Structure 1
Amino acid sequence: MKPESQSQIKVLFVCMGNICRSPTADAVFRHTVKKANLEHAFSVDSAGTHAYHVGNPPDRRAQGAAMRRGYQMNDLRARKVHPDDFAKFDYILAMDHENLSILQQRCPDRFSHKLELMMHYSKGVYSNHEVPDPYFGGDQGFETVLDMIEEASLGLLEHVCNYKAHG
Structure 2
Amino acid sequence: MAEPVRLLVVCLGNICRSPVAEGVLRARIAASTLAGRVELDSAGTGDWHVGEPPDRRAIANAASHGVDIAGLRARQLSASDYRRFDWLLCADRANLRDVRARAPADAHARIALLLDWAGVEDEGEIPDPYTGGASQFEHVYQLLDRAADGAIARLRREYPSRLG
TM-score (norm 1): 0.90
Counterpart residue number, 1:64: 60
Query: Is 1:137 matched with 2:155?
Result: no
Change in 2 beyond 3 A, CA 1:113/1:146: same
Whole-Å separation in 2 of the counterparts to 1:122 and 1:38: 16
Give the superposition deviation at 1:20. 0.1
Runs (4 or more) in structure 1 with deviation over 6 Å come to none
Counterpart residue number, 1:148: 143
Counterpart residue number, 2:30: 34
Q: Is the 8 A contact 2:88 2:109 kept in 1?
A: no
Q: Which has the higher contact order (CA 8 A, sep 6+)?
A: 2
TM-score (norm 2): 0.92
Q: Is the 8 A contact 1:100 1:117 kept in 2?
A: yes
Whole-Å separation in 2 of the counterparts to 1:153 and 1:93: 12
Whole-Å separation in 2 of the counterparts to 1:135 and 1:34: 28
Query: Is 1:119 matched with 2:115?
Result: yes
Counterpart residue number, 1:157: 152
AA partner of residue 159 (structure 2): K
Q: Is the 8 A contact 1:123 1:151 kept in 2?
A: no
RMSD: 1.8
- The structure that is helix-richer by fraction is 1
Aligned-residue identity in percent:
35
Whole-Å separation in 2 of the counterparts to 1:20 and 1:102: 18
Whole-Å separation in 1 of the counterparts to 2:108 and 2:128: 24
How many correspondences in the alignment? Answer: 162
Counterpart residue number, 1:86: 82
